[in-house]
Amino acid sequence: MCGVLGWIDPALIDREAAIRMAEPALSCLRNRGPDDQRFEWGPGWILGHTRLAIIDLSRRSSQPMTDGNGLWLVYNGEIYNFRELRAELEAKGCRFTSDGDAEVLLQALKHWGLACLERLRGMFAFALVDTKRRELVLARDRYGVKPLAYELHGAGIRFASDLNALRSLPGASREVDSESAYLFMALGYIPAPHSIHRGVRKVMPGHYVRVRWSDSEVDDVREVQYWSMRSLQDNGRPADSNGGDYLGEFERRAADAVRCRLISDVPVGALLSGGIDSTLVTSFSEKLAKYQLQSFTMGFDDAGFDEAPFAKAVAKELGTSHNEFQMHDADVEAVWSDMWSVYDEPFADSSAIPTTLLSRHVAHNVKVALTGDGGDEVGCGYEWHQALNRLDPLGTACGDGTLGSRSERMGRFRKRHRIPEKCSIDRAGIWSALRTGLSDEMLSILPLADPLAQQPLSEYFRHWSRDLSDVDDCFKWAGEMDLLTYVPDDLMVKSDRASMSVGLELRSPLLDHELTAWLLRSPVAARFDCESSVSKVLQRRLLEPRISATLLNRPKQGFTPPLQEWLAGPLAERRAEALARLESGRLDPIVLPYGCSSWADCDRVMRDKNTDFLWRIICFSEWLEQSSD
């Protein structure tokens, strides 16, 4: 994994001056790639790269990389099928000087053009500069595992792996974008293409941006979608099953997704929570690795939130070399003090704190670790998937009679979210309220100046679901919506920023696009047992002979920290400081929430009734304070 940086501008005519201006930005990416750091310059452009060496540890795979004929590549990620692609290219006459995947990507782009994006199996964000044609391409993987942002500046364009690097370039935008602040307060994260800064955009997952420039300016910027959820629906056939044997087919595909993510010239470990998904990935990894696999978990002092004992029991049954770390109050405060050098814009997923600490511990042992991310999305694993199914008219009639009829459930839902009977509500509206806790009628409670001036939240979800108009099944629709929104903009931001802050590469086999496509085409009954309301049916059946029933069938817990206790304990002083800054009016566009007479009153009311919104306010305050330095 690596950090990428670039700047295209006709004014960059002096090499030393260009490097001098770009050096602070590349230094911001040093943790993403501590093994090497390089610049390449040409008249009107400069590229920078920091390298985390995983495959081909030699300098032959260093970047920026060129074909020697005007093409330059800076790339962050892993192409897991690079060996197969290399064999195809060699058959066409290509010759390689390195053993890594970067050169394969460069040659694939040279010989197949941007059509090669559809052939890539992996996670990636890259920039390709063609100095002869004066063309730049920025591209990002299907599920947005790897980040990439850009800013049009003056006559040029700058791009980087994160906003901290972009902010370090001369004249960078620091103005807070009001629409992004609104989305952050509603969602707890800022979805692509938005960023917290006005004029700075994130490349959308499954998209590329093509930029052309002339002697005087950048004169053409176009964003193109090369992959969509609709492509999963348009492939014309259901999931392969070998005569109905979905379990056998799932086992083969899941094992292959893990196998290719074990390709590495350094040892690979596994993050193990003890839940279904991380246990499945660790089980396959332990069988396929040619060494004793190390597994890692993080526990909490509060037993009600601590999964460490379950992870330890799973590790014992699977036979891994297990490492257990514990998070104490002092650790919470220490991680928080450095939080906004890790996260480059406001981000309010509270599990980012333990994820950051766990990454620091894991990085002392391995440079690569596998995770269970992605299993809930395709395995109907979230409560909001089941809630949508219970409310949507097209939902399956599951065994939930104790909750009343569908109309009775919808009545309670409308009352809870203040939706009048006269107002129609579609699937996107239901989803918006389920995922945010806010209906369009409740947006006035957001602590922002005139939040109703922004587009209703349900409209954002309608936009994100435009490729799902033909999906009838609620569970399939919900899984695909999470893969479009929650995965790239929350889960992957959390794991990428936390891990890369210490030069640790995380890989997620269950987000393999071929595996997820197959699962989403498989019958819902293979993923959710309607009678017993049990999710991840195939995953559980696959694990039955591998771990004990008590571990397999325990209730879902998740990597959720004791946020209430933290706000009253190790973060109490930081909480008070963040709200005190608001008292002085220094944090536009945040304003006092509706119904609160003061920020002290807000603290009291929100800690009792809405900790999530209080946490978002604190995160925004802390980010703005530290990013203004």
Which pLDDT tens digit goes with each residue over 402-461?
Answer: 667 888 888 899 998 889 888 889 999 999 999 998 888 888 888 888 787 888 999 999
Query: How far is Cα 125 from Cα 585, in angstroms, rounded to an integer?
Result: 38
- Domains by residue range for the chain, with CATH: 2-227 (3.60.20.10), 231-378+484-552 (3.40.50.620), 383-475 (no CATH), 563-627 (no CATH)
3-state secondary structure of 211: strand
Q: According to the model, what pLDDT value does residue 396 have?
A: 78
Distance CA 197, CA 346 (A): 11
Three-state SS string across 338-387, please?
CHHHHCCCCCCCCCHHHHHHHHHHHHCCCCEEECCCCHHHHCCCCHHHHH
Q: Which residues of 560-570 are buried (b: 16+ CB within 10 A; e: fewer)?
A: ebbbebbbeeb
Pairing of strands 122-130, 71-79: antiparallel
3-state secondary structure 123-153: EEEEEEEECCCCEEEEEECCCCCCCCEEEEE
What is the Cα gyration radius of the chain? 24
**In this structure, what token pair is assigned to residue 576?**
């008070």
pLDDT at 341: 93
Kindly give the pairing relationship between strand 294-300 and strand 268-271: parallel
Segment-wise mean pLDDT, segments of 10 residues, the chain, 629 residues: 93 95 97 96 97 95 95 97 97 94 97 96 98 97 97 94 96 91 94 96 98 90 93 65 83 96 96 94 94 93 82 95 95 94 96 96 97 94 92 76 78 89 91 91 84 88 90 92 96 97 97 93 89 91 92 75 90 89 73 75 68 89 83
CA distances (Å), origin 256, targets 78, 111, 178, 283: 16, 27, 44, 13
Percent of the chain with pLDDT over 90: 71
Hey, which residues does 338 pair with through a beta bridge? none
**What is the reported pLDDT for 243?**
65
Residue 155 three-state SS: coil
**Residue 448, strand partner residues:** 590
User: CA–CA distance from 330 to each of 170, 350, 495, 551 (Å)?
Assistant: 37, 16, 22, 31
d(CA 558, CA 376): 10
Report the predicted TM-score, pTM, of the whole model to 2 decimal places. 0.95
Q: Among candidates 252, 146, 88, which has minimal Cα distance to 492?
A: 146
The pLDDT value recorded for residue 625 is 87
Which pLDDT value is given to residue 237? 60
